[in-house]
Structure 1
Amino acid sequence: METQVTTTRQRVWVTTAEACTALGMSRETLRRLRLRGVLTPGKHYRRWGCTQGRGPLQWHLENVEATITGWSRRHLQH
């Protein structure tokens, strides 16, 4: 019987650790982008669990990647 492997790219919402690995960036970079408003709740990340807004974050990889790519092009031009 074959085992189906679910890759990070196949899932819509992933953990912070999985997002860091897939995007090649640190937790601190994700945190800074979130605090600066580059990444927004609902579109790029959400909290999960029943912890009254203090649960761990999940990340929408496709939206985060698209936003970071566009943001980097605009803000890192020389």
Structure 2
Amino acid sequence: MKERIWVTTAEACEILGMSRETLRQLRLRGILLPGKHFRRWGCTEGKGPLQWHEPNVEATITGWSKKNLQ
């Protein structure tokens, strides 16, 4: 079975070991970008739940952490 790339917020938090608030802050600070790291899904005029591109999020967070948390 093919592994899913786009996951729910709850799944992203579990996989990445971080809180919803941390993901939210990284998104609001522009570290995680729409289309690359997250997208809205559903027919709710841009207000649907977010899905996260797990491999891109993990790679960006790892790179950002190495650069900014030394």
Bucket of the pairwise TM-score, normalised by the shorter protein: over 0.9
Same amino acid, percent of matched pairs: 76
Q: TM-score by structure 1 length?
A: 0.87
Give the structure 2 partner of residue 67 of structure 1: 60
* Aligned CA-pair RMSD: 1.1
Q: How far, CA to CA, are the matches of 2:61 and 2:5 in structure 1?
A: 17
Unaligned runs of 5+ in 2: none
Q: Which amino acid aligns with 2:51?
A: Q
Kindly tell me the number of residue pairs found equivalent between the two proteins.
70
Unaligned runs of 5+ in 1: none
Q: TM-score by structure 2 length?
A: 0.96
Q: Mark the structure with the bigger radius of gyration.
A: 1
